[in-house]
Amino acid sequence: MALPYNFEKKYTFSQEDYPQINANYLRTAIFNVFAEDKFIDEQENKITFSSNNTLVNFRFLFDIFIENSEKLKLKFVVNLVNLLKITLFLLVFIALFSKFAFHNYLLFAGVFIFVFYTVNLVFISSYINRKVEKALSMMGYNREELFNHEQQKWLQNPNKCSACGTSISENHIICPNCGLKIKQNPYTKPLNLSPQKQDNAIKYHYKSKK
For each successive 10 residues of the chain (210 residues), what is the average pLDDT? 78 81 84 83 84 74 87 90 86 83 85 87 88 82 55 73 77 74 52 50 58
Provide the domain count of the chain.
2
Q: Cα separation of 129 and 132, whole Å?
A: 5
> Is residue 16 domain-shared with residue 83, that is, in the same domain?
yes
Q: What per-residue confidence (pLDDT) applies to 15? A: 78
Mean pLDDT of the chain: 77
Q: What per-residue confidence (pLDDT) applies to 19? A: 78
Q: Which amino acid is at 208?
A: S
Query: Which residues is 6 bridged to in the sheet?
Result: 79
- 0.85 surpassed by pTM: no
Residue 109 lies in a domain: yes
Q: What per-residue confidence (pLDDT) applies to 59? A: 80
Q: Cα separation of 160 and 25, whole Å?
A: 33
Residue 84 lies in a domain: yes
Q: Which amino acid is at 31?
A: F
Q: Cα separation of 36 and 27, whole Å?
A: 16
> Is residue 84 domain-shared with residue 187, that is, in the same domain?
no
| CATH number of the domain to which 99 belongs | 3.30.310.80
Q: What per-residue confidence (pLDDT) applies to 149? A: 56
Q: What per-residue confidence (pLDDT) applies to 189? A: 47
Residue 153 lies in a domain: yes
> Is residue 80 domain-shared with residue 171, that is, in the same domain?
no
Q: What per-residue confidence (pLDDT) applies to 188? A: 44
Closest CA to 133 of 31, 45, 33: 33
Q: Show the 3-state SS of 81-125.
A: HHHHHHHHHHHHHHHHHCCCCHHHHHHHHHHHHHHHHHHHHHHHH
> Is residue 127 domain-shared with residue 23, that is, in the same domain?
yes
Q: Is 80 exposed, middle or buried (0-12, 13-18, 19+ CB in 10 A)?
A: buried
SS3 category, 43: coil
Q: What per-residue confidence (pLDDT) applies to 77? A: 93
Q: What per-residue confidence (pLDDT) applies to 150? A: 62
The answer to whether residues 134 and 33 touch, using CB atoms and an 8 Å cutoff, is yes
Residue 199 lies in a domain: no
Which parts of 98-202 fold into alpha helices (H)? Answer: 102-138, 149-156
Q: What per-residue confidence (pLDDT) applies to 206? A: 58
User: Domain residues for 187?
Assistant: 147-191
Distances, alpha carbon 148 to alpha carbons 4, 28, 56, 95, 157, in Å: 29, 22, 32, 47, 15
